[in-house]
């Protein structure tokens, strides 16, 4: 039986294959590259609703979408329904020809600073507030509203089902569930069975997230959870080719990994896009970590990563990758 298409508003996708939102990583450069290699939908870094209300230019820059970036969802965070609604209104007023296909509300960020401020995963302590936030967001835009959750605050407070039902009641188009609690951060193993419990409790689609690192694990998470789609996060940093691998697995096609030369070329292209958006100094500084991960599999990768981490110009990074290719061909 053929899987039903995953739809977001008027947009339909064969698999519902998402690049997860990751603060400090999913800038336009990474989203653009991941889309090219198979991500059907990409999600932006989380953007402060409060900063949007004040029309902060740096914040607005995070929502930039250009032609060729592919279907994009903008993720925002906040804790006050009115502020989130006003932030969305401010954001939508800036959209040009390349607009997002939806707005996601972060309700799963485990970072202590965000949690202590009552935002991100802290919202899971109040399903009533979740419903109010989603309802307010729905009233501020015609775009579909989605929510990203975790399993709960900790093992003693696993509340994903109740929170997801609250989001559904508020009018969410779908929810994404990371199979870890806030207390786990990114440690341990994602609990796919608990994602399945959420899926079985909702009428709206559910996206499964957590420990998808290969084509094999992508099939496994869908089989284990019954989810309508899947979301790939940390494993895609420095490895956009993972989306191609996953698509091949889902479609029963053979997968050919990229050569080291191709990895180097794509790394430098991602950095080039970031430079065009942010300027060289900022882009190189902010991209060091993820660009260095492209060196996985290269001979002497550790030393070369160290070189990338101390780079300050595009030329420095290019030289590091040139050295990596030379070492590989010796």
* End residue of a domain, out of 219, 251, 283: 251
Whole domain around residue 32: which residue ranges? 13-251
DSSP state of 73: E
110 with 223, same domain?
Answer: yes
pTM: 0.95
Same domain, 191 and 61: yes
Write out the two tokens for 160: 């994903």
* pLDDT confidence of residue 297: 85
- Whether 4 is in a domain gets the answer no
Same-domain status, 31 and 97: yes
Contact yes or no for 219/190 (Cβ under 8 A): no
Tokens of 102: 């939806």
| Separation CA 95–CA 98 (nearest Å) | 7
Mean pLDDT across the chain, nearest whole number? 95
Per-residue confidence band for 330, with pLDDT thresholds at 50, 70 and 90: low
Decide if 7 is inside a domain.
no
* Rounded-to-integer distance, Cα 96 and Cα 94, Å: 6
Q: Which of 234, 251, 268 is the last residue of a domain?
A: 251
Task: Answer whether residue 1 is part of any domain.
Answer: no
Q: Where among 251, 285, 303 does a domain terminate?
A: 251
Indicate whether 2 belongs to any domain. no
Q: What is the pLDDT of residue 57?
A: 86
109 is catalytic: yes
Same domain? For 168 and 299 the reply is no
Please list, residue by residue across 159-193, b when 16 or more beta carbons sit within 10 angstroms of its beta carbon and e when fewer do: bbbebbbbbbebbbbbbbbbbbbbbbeeeeebbbe
How far is the C-alpha of 324 from the C-alpha of 200, rounded, in Å? 48
Inter-residue contact 70 to 32 (CB < 8 Å): yes
Tell me the DSSP string of 267-319: HHHHHHHHHHHH-HHHHHHHHHHHHHGGGTTSTTHHHHHHHHHT--SHHHHHH
The answer to the question of residue 5 being in a domain is no
Same domain, 95 and 221: yes
Summarize pLDDT for 172-191 with one digit per residue, the tens. 999 999 999 999 999 999 99
Q: Encode pLDDT of 65-114 as tens digits.
A: 998 999 999 999 999 999 999 999 999 988 877 899 999 999 999 999 99
Closest by alpha carbon to 179, among 108, 123, 240, 124?
Answer: 108
For 3-25, the pLDDT digits (tens) are: 678 999 999 999 999 999 999 99
Q: Which of 34, 109, 159, 163 is catalytic?
A: 109
For residue 292, what is the domain's CATH number? 1.10.1200
Backbone φ and ψ of 295, nearest 5°? -80, 0
The pLDDT, as a whole number, for residue 298 is 87
- Residues 238 and 93 both lie in one domain: yes
Q: Specify the number of domains making up the chain.
A: 2
Q: Residue 274, exposed/middle/buried by CB under 10 A (0-12, 13-18, 19+)?
A: buried
CATH code assigned at 27 = 3.20.20.70
């Amino acid at each position: 039986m053929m899987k039903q298409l995953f739809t977001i508003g008027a947009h339909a996708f064969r698999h519902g294959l998402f690049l997860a939102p990751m603060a400090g990583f999913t800038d336009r450069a990474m989203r653009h590259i991941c889309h090219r290699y198979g991500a059907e939908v990409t999600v932006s870094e989380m953007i402060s609703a409060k900063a949007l209300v004040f029309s902060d230019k740096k914040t607005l820059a995070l929502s930039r979408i250009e032609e060729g970036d592919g279907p994009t969802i903008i993720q925002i965070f906040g804790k006050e329904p009115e502020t989130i609604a006003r932030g969305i209104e401010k954001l939508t007023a800036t959209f040009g020809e390349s607009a997002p296909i939806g707005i996601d509300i972060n309700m799963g960020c485990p970072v202590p600073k965000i949690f202590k401020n009552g935002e991100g995963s802290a919202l899971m302590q109040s399903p009533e507030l979740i419903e109010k936030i989603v309802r307010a967001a729905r009233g501020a835009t015609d775009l579909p509203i989605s929510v990203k959750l975790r399993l709960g605050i900790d093992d003693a407070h696993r509340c994903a089902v109740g929170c997801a039902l609250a989001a559904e009641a508020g009018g969410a188009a779908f929810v994404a569930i990371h199979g870890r609690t806030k207390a786990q951060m990114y440690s341990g193993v994602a609990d796919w069975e608990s994602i399945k419990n959420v899926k079985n409790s909702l009428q709206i689609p559910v996206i499964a997230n957590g420990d998808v690192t290969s084509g094999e694990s992508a099939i496994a998470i869908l089989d284990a959870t019954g989810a309508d789609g899947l979301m790939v996060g940390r494993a895609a940093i420095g490895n956009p080719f993972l989306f191609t691998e996953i698509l091949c697995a889902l479609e029963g096609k053979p997968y050919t990994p990229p050569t080291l030369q191709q990895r180097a070329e794509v790394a430098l292209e991602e950095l080039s896009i970031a430079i065009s958006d942010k300027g060289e100094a900022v882009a190189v500084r902010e991209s060091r970590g993820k660009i260095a991960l492209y060196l996985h599999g290269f001979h002497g990768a550790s030393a070369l990563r160290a070189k990338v981490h101390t780079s300050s110009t595009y030329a420095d990074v290019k030289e590091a990758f040139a050295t990596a290719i030379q070492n590989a061909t010796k």
